[in-house]
Amino acid sequence: VPIIYLGPSNEEKEVQAEVGMNLLDVAHENNIELEGACGGELACATCHLIFPQEIYDTLPEKVEEEDDMLDLAFELTETCVLFLLLW
């Protein structure tokens, strides 16, 4: 499936991903620089994303551990999710 990453200067990079892969791994495999300090172990919030409400509403419900980690995130909003949990 196609995934489009938006960089800090709003540049787009489209990559292909297999269904079931988490988006942090997809980014790293495509040389997109994103931090995931815990290596995908749900032990930090460095991989959090902020989504527009209309996209956030289509995502799976967050698990309690994700909300706990998001409490540590910089610039937290109601539509934040951890990147590593999205597939």
16 vs 51: which has the higher pLDDT: 16
Q: How far apart are CA 35 and CA 10, in angstroms?
A: 18
CB within 8 Å of 18: residues ≥ 6 apart: 1
Helix, strand or coil, per DSSP, at residue 60: coil
pLDDT in tens, 1-39: 898 888 878 889 999 999 888 888 898 899 998 877 887
Average pLDDT taken over every residue of the chain: 85
pLDDT > 90 fraction of the chain, expressed in percent and rounded: 20
Is the pLDDT assigned to residue 85 strictly greater than 70?
A: no
Our separate counts of H helices and E strands in the chain read 3, 4
Cα–Cα distance for residue pair 42/21, rounded to 1 Å: 16
